[in-house]
Amino acid sequence: MIVVEYSALKEAVNRIAFGLPNGIGKGSCIWEPLSTWDAVFDRDLKSNAKLMIYDELSAKFLVE
């Protein structure tokens, strides 16, 4: 299962997805990375500090 089309609560969404039994949670995909609510890119397509949450999330939830 992959959670899609969300913007806020990134850590909570991933905690739920990766906490599902039997490893059925595979990850998440945000919706509207340019949204006015929680944009991770500006209008010039340059990333901002909000993008760094994904480094933190991958360190917490992805197993190599």
Answer yes or no: are the C-beta atoms of 47 and 41 closer than 8 Å: yes
Answer yes or no: is pLDDT of 64 > 70: no
What end-to-end distance do the CA atoms of the chain give, in Å?
19
Q: pTM higher than 0.95 for the full model?
A: no
Answer yes or no: are the C-beta atoms of 10 and 30 closer than 8 Å: yes
pLDDT tens-digit profile of 5-56? Answer: 887 888 999 999 999 999 899 989 887 766 767 788 888 889 888 888 889 9
